[in-house]
């Protein structure tokens, strides 16, 4: 492709260069190019029905260019599967909206089918991401199950209790999901890889408050688990210190959370302690998403030289990552009330710690 300089991109989120962009090879065939072009001249401020379109050209690259799916939001990528299934992603920053659709790579003229319309800030409603594996060409493609009739979804499992990662099957004909496996207390387990979907075998990273992450071979159909690695605890002298997921409320009603770490095993000593808080503000478009729990009470905390948990050795309590959301709902911009919201979040965190003694 002959591209002009990308020196005239319109200002604002959602704007992109004109012409060809996001050029990539199709992962499930030897030689087929795909790329994207803007239908709105790359101007995110324009009101249009479709912003991007995908195009394709097959080897030896002398034939006709084929037109593929159009995107109502900005194109954000493709997961390739086989001749009848690929996933196309679209995203719009201003609304935090994501659309995931299925299309047929060998029938580009066919209309794509929308599978999920998501708010990317809503952790509790996140269906997970489609699982991929390497094919014979060493390329990442969608992992199919049930004779290519289903896919697998791997998610963090956001909930008011904290993250509870899972593996779901996704039926391509009905769109229904089925829970195959999920992390359960007192562990935080994350599915690293599906070793054999037909037999229900996973490689899982398992950790707890007192156990550092180790890999386990899990057979979810048999309820069987075999430990694969045995990494020792990196700082056994600090094993068993108190850890608690804390939830509280800001004065405007926004739900907040943090993780409290205590320096002593004796509860009597964990009273009236000096406290270190470590926080970073983050923008949100709605209060509901801002108040969601973004951690697990069962995760392992590795203490390193840059960790605030080092202060536990000096007798401090650590109120780690108290949420400080800066919310700009609708057409409002978060920074318009940045200081006010930051102060309100800090006050709520201090008030909660004081109330806990």
* Per-residue pLDDT reduced to its tens digit, 123-179: 999 999 999 999 999 999 999 999 999 999 999 999 999 999 999 999 999 999 999
Contact assessment for residue 78 and residue 130, using Cβ atoms and an 8 Å cutoff: no
The range of the structural domain enclosing residue 287 comes to 236-356
What is the C-alpha separation between 61 and 67, in angstroms, rounded? 15
Are residues 171 and 203 both part of a single domain?
yes
Residues 222 and 244 in one domain: no
Mean residue pLDDT across the chain: 95
- pLDDT tens per residue across span 50-74: 999 999 999 999 999 999 999 999 9
Instruction: Looking at the structure, tell me whether residues 47 and 155 fall in a common domain.
Output: no
- What is the pLDDT, as a whole number, of residue 2? 77
Q: Decide if 171 contacts 149 (C-beta within 8 A).
A: yes
Answer yes or no: is pLDDT of 1 > 80: no
Query: Are residues 242 and 225 part of one domain?
Result: no
- pLDDT over 70 for what percent of the chain? 100
Give the global pTM: 0.91
pLDDT at 332: 85
Residue 345 in domain: yes
Q: How many domains does the chain have?
A: 3
128 occurs within a structural domain: no
Q: Which of 82, 119, 78 is nearest to 287 (CA)?
A: 119
Neighbouring CB atoms inside 10 A of 339's CB total 9
Contacts with 222 (C-beta within 8 Å, 6 or more apart), sequence order: 200
Average of pLDDT values for 309-335? 92
Phi, psi of 309 (to 5 degrees): -70, -10
């Amino acid at each position: 492709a002959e591209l002009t300089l990308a020196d005239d991109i319109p200002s604002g989120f959602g704007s992109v260069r004109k012409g060809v962009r996001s050029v990539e090879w199709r992962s499930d065939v030897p030689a087929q190019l795909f790329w994207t072009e803007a239908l709105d001249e790359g101007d995110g401020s324009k009101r249009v029905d479709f912003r991007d379109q995908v195009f394709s050209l097959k080897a030896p690259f002398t034939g006709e260019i084929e037109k593929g799916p159009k995107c109502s939001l900005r194109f954000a990528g493709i997961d390739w599967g086989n001749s009848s299934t690929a996933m196309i992603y679209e995203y719009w920053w201003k609304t935090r909206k994501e659309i995931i659709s299925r299309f047929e790579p060998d029938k580009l003229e066919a209309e794509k089918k929308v599978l999920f319309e998501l708010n990317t800030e809503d952790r509790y409603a996140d269906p997970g991401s489609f699982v991929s594996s390497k094919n014979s060409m060493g390329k990442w493609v969608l992992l199919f199950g049930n004779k290519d009739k289903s896919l697998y979804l791997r998610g963090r499992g956001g909930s008011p209790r904290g993250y509870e990662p899972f593996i779901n099957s996704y039926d391509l004909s009905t769109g229904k999901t089925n829970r195959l496996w999920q992390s359960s207390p007192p562990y935080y387990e994350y599915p690293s890889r599906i070793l054999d979907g037909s037999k229900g075998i996973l490689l899982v990273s398992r950790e707890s408050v007192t156990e550092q992450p180790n890999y386990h071979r899990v057979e979810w159909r048999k309820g069987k688990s075999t430990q694969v690695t045995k990494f020792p605890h990196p700082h056994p002298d600090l094993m068993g210190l108190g850890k608690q997921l804390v939830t509280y409320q800001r004065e405007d009603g926004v739900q907040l959370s943090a993780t409290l770490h205590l320096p002593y095993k004796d509860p009597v000593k964990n009273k009236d302690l000096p406290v270190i808080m470590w926080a970073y503000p983050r923008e949100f478009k709605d209060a509901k998403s801002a108040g969601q729990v973004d951690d697990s009470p069962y995760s392992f905390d590795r203490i390193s030289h840059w960790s605030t948990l080092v202060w536990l050795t000096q007798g401090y309590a650590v109120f780690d990552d108290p949420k400080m959301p800066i919310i700009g709902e609708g057409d409002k911009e978060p920074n318009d009330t940045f200081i006010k919201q930051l102060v309100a979040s800090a006050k709520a965190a201090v008030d909660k710690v004081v109330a806990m003694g």
